[in-house]
Structures are given as C-alpha cells and as structure tokens.
Structure 1
C-alpha cells in the first residue's frame, strides 16, 4: 500500500507558495492547499478561522501537530484538519519554519516531500507591494526570520529546491508533481 503523500512548501513571504499551489491544483486537482487554523485577524482566505478556545481544546486533546505565531496571529496545523486534507487528496502545507516541517514530518505519518521555495529579499518586497499588502515591512521581517531559520538549520534536507525568480509556477508545479511520482514509484518498487 502506498503511504499518503503530502507536500510541504517552505519559503519566505511572497516566495510563491500560493502561486505554486495554484499551479499544482491546475496541473492535478487532487493537490489542495492545507488550510491552517488561524486565530486572530486579517486575511482569512486560505485559512480556517478559529477561536482561542477552539485552539486550546485541540491542544488539550493533543491534536495540534504544530503552532506558531506571526503577524499577531496564531497558526496551527491540527490532526483533524490534516486528516480531512488527506481524505480530499494531496495536501500542500505552507510553512516558514524548519521546526514546523520537522514537527509535521515527525508528528503526522505520511510521505512528506519538503520543497524549498526561494527568492531574493528585494523580490519579496516587490511582490508584496505589487499585490497590495499593507504589511510589507512585517513580511520583510519574516523574510529575514526565514533566512535566519535556514541558516540555523544547515542540516535540513530538501527534496527539491526551486528559485521562483527562475522557474515559472507551472514549471515548479511540474517538478513537484514529478518528485511525488518518483517517490510513489520507489515506494511500490
């Protein structure tokens, strides 16, 4: 039996996580962005908005695989949410912390492919301003934190690394899809 396959897209803000996920879904509709539980305010698209009480109940039940705080919000990867995502297809989880990748890989058994999406800081700034973000300064601070996180974890093994200033979203999606196909083939060999 093939293990469940999932994709983790790691990268700083505006590195292309949303765009590459859309291209993956266009390539094969079984790919779908995992909607993390978000407690706070701001952008709701791509998240399951929740309350502090809901998050606390999940924590008490041992159902939170990973949680982090950024931009004044808390974002959680919860076991019931990941279960539902796998039931629907191939989840694509967006993360900006190596500790989050490690927590997900060790805390939720599946065949996870970790993909590093890169872009220069000035590209993050241009993309953030271009899409009308009101918090570009915070996103640049998050870009810096992501760079520091990468530097602090030189032992992190990536299944694939893509510079999104060089590869189109469609090319990135094809590379990721080919990676999962190879891994599935190796699992059945």
Structure 2
C-alpha cells in the first residue's frame, strides 16, 4: 500500500510559501494548504484560532505534533488537523523551523516531500514592505533565525530546493508535482 503523500514547504518569511501553495492548488486542486492552529493575536484568516487552554488539552491528549512561538503567538500542527488535511487531498504544510520538519516527519507517518523555498534577506524585506506588513522588522528577525536554523542543521536533506527569485510560482508548483509523481512511482515500482 502506498503511503499518503504530503508536502512541507520550509523557508523564511516572504519566501513564497503562500504563493507557491496557491500555484500548487491551481495546478491541481488535490493540493490543500494545511491550516495551523494559532494562539494569539493578529492575522486570523489563514489559521484555526484556539485558546491556550484548548492547545494544552490537545497536547495532553498527544495530538500536538509540533508547536512553536513566533511574533508573540503560538502556532501548532495538530494530528486531527493533519488527518483532515489528508482526507481533503495532499496537505501542504508551511514551516520555518527544521525542528518542525523533523517533528512532523517523525511524528506523523506519511511520505513527506520536503521543499526548501529560498530568497535573500533583502527580498524578504522588499516583499514584506510591498504587501504592507506592519511587522517587517520581526519578519527580518525571523529570516535571520531561519538562516541560523539552516546553519545549525547542515545535514538537512531537501527533496527539492527552489530559489523563488528565479522560479515563477507555477514553475515551482510543476516541479513539486513532478517530485511527488516520481516518489509515488518509485514507491509502487
């Protein structure tokens, strides 16, 4: 039996995770963005908002696969949410920490394709400013943290690396889809 396939997009802020996910969904509607849990304030539209108590209850039940704090908020990947995302198609999970990748790959059995989306720091600044982010300084600090994270984990292996300053979102989507097709073919061979 073939394992369920999922995609992890890793990269600094404004590296194109949302844009590439939108392109993937347009390429094939089976690709669906995993909606993380969020405890905190600010943007709520692309999160499932929960209280700190609700997150603690999920964690106590063993249903938190990974949680991290950034921008003064807590973000989490929960087992029931990943189950629902797989039921809807091929989940695309956005992460900015190598530890999160490892926690998801080790903590939720599936055939995860891990993709590094990258852009230089000045591009993160330009994109963040261009889209009207009010916290560009925090996003640049997160870019620095992502760079440090990569330097701390030099052995991290990527199934695909995409420079989002050189590849159009639809090209990145096509490459990711090809990667998953190759992995599915290899699994059934």
Which 4+ residue blocks in structure 1 deviate beyond 2 angstroms? none
TM-score in terms of structure 2 length: 0.99
Counting only pairs closer than 5 Å after superposition, residues 10-49 of structure 1 correspond to structure 2 as 10-49=10-49
Counting only pairs closer than 5 Å after superposition, residues 38-187 of structure 1 correspond to structure 2 as 38-187=38-187
Q: Residues 11-66 of structure 1: CA distance to partner in whole angstroms, max 9, x if unpaired? A: 00000000000000000001011000000011112211111111010010011000
Gaps of 5+ in 1: none
Q: Determine helix, strand or coil for the equivalent of 2:117.
A: strand
Paired residues in the alignment total 189
Q: Determine helix, strand or coil for the equivalent of 2:166.
A: coil
Q: Residues 123-144 of structure 1: CA distance to partner in whole angstroms, max 9, x if unpaired? A: 0000000000000000000000
Determine the C-alpha separation between the residues in 1 that align with 2:108 and 2:78: 10
Kindly state the Cα deviation for residue 70 of structure 1 after the two structures are TM-superposed.
0.2
Q: Is the 8 A contact 1:33 1:46 kept in 2?
A: no
TM-score in terms of structure 1 length: 0.99
